[in-house]
Amino acid sequence: MIVREQKIALKKGTIGLISDTHGLVRPQALAALKGVDVIVHAGDIGKSEVLEELRKIAPLYVIRGNNDRDSWGKSLPDILKLRCGEIRIQVIHNVHDLAENTGADYDAIISGHSHKPGIQTRDGTLYVNPGSAGPRRFKLPIAVGKLRISGRQLEAELVELNV
């Protein structure tokens, strides 16, 4: 398992959240992420071209999902531990793979995998799944997310895409 720690020079701003693109770069997703300071992709990218398109918008931080098995994906971390000023964020593809009590060490946990967008706070930790911006699965919405940071304050938003 590859775990990477990185600092992001962002004490105030917006992180765009995207996951489960499965090789599909929707123009609606790109439009929804326009203007963010950085982008986090929570895995199941599908094709390296997805990353190339996202990098045109903002600096990109990315993890490998369970379907990212091609050669380009093998060097990607399974877990990202990000530090944005005072904010600690862990990015993991499947939230069910979190080590027990990991949430207590982080201000936010970003995940994907389920394709189901959601925001919840548990024991003081913000959990955000931006859902899937790729092919529709079941009747779940197509969505991305945004995480706004201002000092120690976090605010998450889901953006359902009209597709």
> Which pLDDT tens digit goes with each residue over 46-61?
999 999 999 999 999 9
| pLDDT category of residue 103 using cuts at 50, 70 and 90 | confident
pLDDT beyond 80 at 108? yes
pLDDT beyond 90 at 94? yes
Structure confidence at residue 137 (pLDDT): 87
Give me the residue spans of the domains in the chain: 3-160
54-86 exposure pattern, b = at least 16 Cβ within 10 A, e = fewer: beebbebbbbbbebbeeeebeebbbbbbbebbe
Is 3.60.21.10 the CATH number for 3-160? yes
> Which pLDDT tens digit goes with each residue over 63-86?
999 999 999 999 999 999 999 999
pLDDT beyond 80 at 148? yes
DSSP collapsed to 3 states, 15-79: EEEECCCCCCCCHHHHHHHCCCCEEEECCCCCCHHHHHHHHCCCCEEECCCCCCCCHHHCCCCCE
The whole model's pTM is what? 0.96
